[in-house]
Structure formats: structure tokens, C-alpha cells
Amino acid sequence: MSDPLIGFRQYWYKNDLTKLEGMDVHMMPVPSSYNDITTQTNIRDHVGLVWYDRTFFVPQSWVNKKRVILRFSSVSYAAQVWLNGKLAVNHEIGHLPFQKDVTALLNFGASNRVTVACDNTLLQDTVPQGTVYEAKTDLGNKLVQSYTFDFFNYAGIHRPVVLYTTPLHYIDDITVYTDVSGTTGLVYYNVIYTKSDDVTCVVTLFDKHGTKVAGAESYGQDALKVPDAKLWWPYLMHKDPGYLYTLQVELHNTEKEVLDVYRQPIGIRTISWTNTSLLINNHPIYFHGFGRHEDADIRGKGLDLPTIIRDHNLMKWIRGNAYRTSHYPYADEIMDVADQLGIMIIDECPSVDTDAFSLRLLEKHKDSLTELYKRDKNRPSVIMWSIANEPRTQSKAAGQYFEEVAKHIKSLDRTRPVTIAIARGVNEDQSGFHLDVISFNRYNAWYQNPGRLDMITEKIVEEATAWHTKYNKPVLVSEYGADTMPGLHIYPEYIWSEEYQVTLLSNHFKAFDRLREQGWFIGEFVWNFADFKTAQTYTRVGGNKKGLFTRDRQPKAGAHHVRKRYSLLAKELYNVSLPSDFQHYLTPASIHHDEL
């Protein structure tokens, strides 16, 4: 489009988009990324605004009795929303929900139209950052988006859009904190609701069978005691992982009528940490997991329920117990599954490759963490906050910047540790002073010393040790791996082959086992769970191929190899039985780490 602001000048938000003359209008499913839906290059690579609209009906019965809320689970990145031609809400950060009370803007008993202007432009003061420049092409000058992060800049309305109602007296927010005293679970809650002299808050806790185990009537803040509480445990650490209670919050009037109700799944568990360990329910944990992406063919980052379930089934098959939401918050539906299965989450905000630090960016970075905290604060699966991925942390300005960012998230939540996935070297990093756990990304025998499989183990041991020596904090490896073309077999091992990935993994495993003996090394996250799309570059063949699984979720040789590793770790750490098909991998006499 030669005039990117034409929609504002011509007041598109006041009209049905399908009736615009001379405009290219496409049917577009929601949720989805718009980039790969059509057959047009200019849509795949579009930079700037796109417009959506939809009509819907609101019943007359809602008038004067309810509040009506319009909720977007995620629009990437910036969104302006109009309802019936009137501005309803603006939101800038992608991957996080936003909503607005639109009661006053609706036509009850009639048709309504919602219009969304979505802008995928990334600049130096957006989260994440990017730059835009004008380039001369064979078809004239065009805007080109440039960014340094290594995943495709998918855009659109990525997650569900819903219209929901509340009563006029309603529950606005619930915050839950849990603790354990002996065998008694403690559930501290704070309910924000519309205050009134004739409204009380009634809280009831149910177990997973629907049996009441505790309850209280208060004005919104109290604690419940749960005798013989069943704790939320990570996958593989307990025979019943991911145990969830339901905290039911009701507002009652003086006649004991229920005015509003909300049911919040919760897990009773504790998190604590020292300079050497991270503990769940006072038991040290060891992460064996993955970095991931919300990414699938055609739909891009659009919510995809079958893929979500497939991914978590594969995680259980491979016996991973954790993943990072690299490099942005994932969908509510993904987080729900993690809560239920007991998969531990390092919850990452959308800050990627930050390299220009400003006060304006700092405020937006803080806003992203505030929104992330508000959404995920009650999730038992969220074990740690990650406040950035691979920022340029070598400068004094970076140290000051991340000191402020870390202070901000800790002001919101003191119950979880804070980390950054650091890419800079240990001697130059300035961010680790402000973190609770040191996570570092390192690609030995790939980006560093490619082809040298004999330059992995000692380097990982030495660097991890240096991180702990410098900061005296727990250390984990948050990324390592190698691009692998499925079906490419070369022996002796050669870069990009499946054999190369397997040996690279093995040589990292040797380092990790040596580090585990030191007592302060707490985890390994292979990059990546599955192949994913990136921007076009000569270093990428159809995208990033570091996945253990292909983009359509089929295993490479590396997936089977990591399954061996993680199964043996689960047996060693938690006395979990080996999978019934483990004989497909090793004979009983050879089940020990040396065979890896």
C-alpha cells in the first residue's frame, strides 16, 4: 500500500471494510498470523498496518444489567480497536492480553462492528526492538523491517477475541500465594471486587474431585488452611504431578444471592532458592527441558490447539520437565496445559536482543513485565521470570537498565527468582549482579568453532564455573544446539547432519554431568524443541533447523538421543521407571550415562 495511513484519513473504522473501493480485501481467519495465509509475497513480508473488522450481535437482554468486556488475547504488535466507529482501546505490546469495558459503545439488540488496526512495525523503543528503512526495489521504494532476533516476525490477531459479561457487582482480580506448614497447605488470597456495604466475598477451595476442603467469608483478603494438602509437583518428581485445586470466589448480597463467581485453578507449592539451588516444596530441582517457539506451518503464531497437545505429548514422551517461553509470553491455553501436567515454565517477556537502552524503552519493558505478571501470577507452573533474551549486557548502561528492570519485577513478585538468558561472555556481562539465577546461551561447535565437536565439553565446564565464581548464584545452560537437516546422514560427523547433532548433544551431556557434581548447576535447555520459521537468510534453510523435532513435529535422531538422556536423568534423580520401550534404545546391561 503506497499510503500506509490511508485507513485513518478515510475513516475506515467507520465503515465496513468489504465495501471499500479499490482495496485488496482478504478473508482472514482469527486467530492466525496473516503472513502465510495467502499466496502473496507482499502480504507475507508486509511492514506496517493491516485492518480487520467483524460484525456481531448483542442481545437486548444485556442492557442495564451487565458490563460487557471486549478481550483480545494477543495482537502483534500494536493495536487500535474501534467499536461502531468509536475508539475503544489502544495496546502496544504483543503476546499479552488486553481488554476494555465497551458497554457504552454497544448497540443492544442490534448488529455491532469491531475494527482493528494492527501494526507490526518494530522500532528502537518497542519491545522487541527493530528498525525500518526505505529500500529501492524493482517495483519502487518499499519499507523494509530489520530485526536481529532469529524468528519470523509473524503478525496479526494471534489469539482468541471474546466478548464476555460481568454483573454490575463483579470480581476484578484475584491474587493467590501458597505456602506449606508440615502437611497443611496455606492459601493466601486477595480479591479485588466492587466494594459495597451489602456485598461479601465467599471463598471456597475444592480438590480435583470437586470436594470442598476449605472455605472462608471475608471482605476479600484472608488465608485458607488445607489439611493433608496435595502439593503441586513437577512432572516426574511425583506420581501425581500438576495437582490442581479450584479456588471458587463468589460475591454474595445480603440475601445470600450469588452476584458473581470466578473459579481459579491453583497449585499448592513453594519456591525457594539459595546461591546453589532452586527448590520446589523444599526439594532441589534439576531442569531438563527445551527452548521453544509458538510456530506452526501456515497458521504461524496463531493459536493451534492440536499442535499444543501434540507438543506436550512429545515433551512427556521425551521426558522433559521444563521449557522457556522463548522469547515472549505464550498463549493462556499453553500455560493451562503446563499447569495441569506439571511442566515447569521459565516465563519470558518479549524483550529480545535489546541493544539500545532508553528511558522510553525501559518504561515499555516494565509495562510488558507488569502485564505478564498480572496474567500469570497465579500459575503454579511458572517457576521463574525471564526478563530478556540475549540483550547486549556488556555496557554500564545495560547494567543500570537491567537493574531497574529486575527491581520492577521483584517489586511485583518476591516469590519467584529472576533470570536473563545471557549471550555475552562472563567477563563482560553487567546484568548478573541483579539476577537470582544465571542462565547463559552458548553454541560451542556451532556459532563458535563450527565443526569442532572436540571443543565443547571443557568449554562448557569452564564457562559455567566462571559464571558461578563471578556471581555466586545457581547456573543453568538456557540454549545450546546445532542446526540439523532431517535425513542428512554423514559419518564421520559433519555439520548439519543428524550424526553431528547427536554427537554435539552427547558432548554437552558430558559437561552437564560434570557440572551437576559441583552442586550449583541446575539445568539444561536444548535449543530447540522443534524447527521454526525465520527471516530469509543464507544461513537458514527454510528456517531454523535446531529442533529435535521437525516443524511438523516428527522426531530427528536427536530427539531419541535426548529421550535417552532425560529418561536416565529421571531414573537417577526421581527413581522414575524407564519407559516401557526403552529396550529399543539400550540393553539392560548398558543403562548408564557412559553409553551416552
Residue with cell 527468582: 417
First-to-last CA distance in the chain? 55
User: In the sheet that 278-280 helps form, which strands lie side by side, from edge to edge?
Assistant: 271-273, 278-280, 283-284
Residue with cell 525465520: 534
CB 257 within 8 A of CB 453: no
Q: Is 390 in the active site?
A: yes
Catalytic residue among 348, 390, 463, 498: 390
Residue with cell 532431517: 486
CA count, 13 A, side-chain hemisphere, 328: 27
Tell me which amino acid residue 3 is. Answer: D
* DSSP characters over 542-582: SSB---SB-TTS-B-HHHHHHHHHHHHHHHHHH-PPPPTTG
Q: How many angstroms separate the Cα of 174 from the Cα of each of 60, 376, 379?
A: 30, 11, 12
Q: How far apart are CA 254 and CA 217, in angstroms?
A: 13
Beta bridge partners of 118: 50, 79
Q: How far apart are CA 178 and CA 180, in angstroms?
A: 7
* Among the listed residues 423, 412, 418, the one whose alpha carbon sits nearest the alpha carbon of residue 434: 418
CB 279 within 8 A of CB 271: yes
Residues annotated as catalytic (active site), given as ranges: 390
